[in-house]
Structure 1
């Protein structure tokens, strides 16, 4: 997963994968079939972990606005090298777009989970007076998810921790009750 995450599918050779996993070519083929099937499994594993982490950060605080802030701020890894990886899912979108139906299906399974939980938290925040009640919860959830993509792309492009945290907090301030 780490090799695909750092390099993408096309720039990762079978030799890169064999070296990272410490196995022979035949073992790779026996276990995964081919490089593409290994990539799909790595992306599936990455998405499960990242969506779980996102939902955990979003849900942990009692305050919905604090949960949204934790979600966004938590995207920027403290470790410079880790932060520079950005998001494997966003990298996959950049590399494949809509051209691979199996990867599109993976995204379509993962995205609604976070989107639905965001809508719930936004509604809770509106009921508690923390989030602007005039905002449409669905559109606001979509805005937050697009912001997440932007933050992860900025991280991959070398954005500093301070800048990424600042943008995350700016986004939260936009939806906060004035």
Structure 2
């Protein structure tokens, strides 16, 4: 019978994710993972397999948590338009160091593009799930008169997802929090219903 693990799997996985998030897959060494995770190399192999499988698991966990957070903010307020604004605002961290990390999922897309089917499928699944929730809130906003009635909700959902990617890339490039939040507000203003005269 194998010796039981002497570490919390979720904790060490998220420590690994923090290294991959900051450096990307290729630039992360096994030594850096051992140091960050606080467990031996053999323990990493026993628990997670090789570096690639550790990266996949870390990215999957990150993607699930970040998508859930986006959806919580989107669905939280009673007003659909406020939920959309909250979702965009939630992308922007006040801590310069955290904000500069951008999004691990977007970083993965930048590093691998569409060359790795496992990563492509992971991103597509998360994006489709969030898109479905966005479409629903956009429909609610249109019905309630908060959003422009001429909006195509499918295209608007795609536009918002691309805006999110742009905000996260700009954050990684060093954009200031105030500028990123202003971009989010500008975006929401474009889809709001015009005030009655």
TM-score with structure 1 length normalisation? 0.99
| Counterpart position of 1:168 | 184
Following superposition, the deviation at residue 107 of structure 1 comes to 1.0
Residue-by-residue CA offset, 1:102-141 (whole Å, 9 max, x unaligned): 1111112111110000000000000011100101000000
Which among 46, 49, 60 is matched to residue 33 of structure 1? 49
| Counterpart position of 1:80 | 96
In structure 1, distance between residues paired with 2:75 and 2:102: 22
Following superposition, the deviation at residue 62 of structure 1 comes to 0.3
Counterpart check, 1:5 vs 2:21: yes
- Aligned length, in residue pairs: 178
Residue-by-residue CA offset, 1:31-68 (whole Å, 9 max, x unaligned): 11111100000000000100000000000000000000
In structure 1, distance between residues paired with 2:110 and 2:97: 20
Residue-by-residue CA offset, 1:77-123 (whole Å, 9 max, x unaligned): 11111111100000000000110011111112111110000000000
Tell me the SS of whatever aligns to 1:134. coil
| Counterpart position of 2:132 | 116
In structure 2, distance between residues paired with 1:103 and 1:165: 29
Matches within 5 A, 1:93-132: 93-132=109-148
Where does the alignment leave 5 or more consecutive residues of structure 1 unmatched? none
Moved over 4 A (4+): none
In structure 2, distance between residues paired with 1:24 and 1:50: 28
| Counterpart position of 2:33 | 17
Counterpart check, 1:156 vs 2:172: yes
Matches within 5 A, 1:134-153: 134-153=150-169
| Counterpart position of 2:76 | 60
Where does the alignment leave 5 or more consecutive residues of structure 2 unmatched? 1-16
Structure having the higher Rg: 2
Residue-by-residue CA offset, 1:145-174 (whole Å, 9 max, x unaligned): 000000000000011010000000000000
